[in-house]
Amino acid sequence: MFGYKYEILKEYPHYFLDYQEQFDTSERWDDRFVSSSGEWSGNVYDFYRKAYNKISQHIIGFGKV
């Protein structure tokens, strides 16, 4: 949960986290991040934080007029 992707893959070879935002069906996705990108640790906790921030930004944005 708190390790790095390469450490997690030693125990769970099929480990892969994928977050996708799709607002328009004409595009594949509007925003995406995956555990294998190398731009972040790739662990479950960091994935949760990144996804939570993205989702909460959209929820707050829906409340604005």
Residues 9-50: pLDDT tens digits?
Answer: 999 999 999 999 887 778 787 888 888 888 888 899 999 999
Looking at the predicted structure, is the pLDDT value of residue 56 above 60? yes
Q: Long-range contacts for 51-57 (Cβ within 8 Å, ≥24 apart)?
A: 51/19, 54/19, 54/21
Looking at the predicted structure, is the pLDDT value of residue 61 above 80? no
* Domain regions of the chain by residue span: 1-17+40-65
Predicted local distance difference test score (pLDDT) of residue 5 = 86
Residue 2 to residues 11, 12, 27, 52, Cα–Cα distance (Å): 14, 14, 33, 17
Tell me the C-alpha distance between 29 and 60, whole Å. Answer: 21
Strands, E assignment, the chain? 18-21, 31-34
Predicted local distance difference test score (pLDDT) of residue 45 = 93
Structure-token match 């993205």, residue found:
54
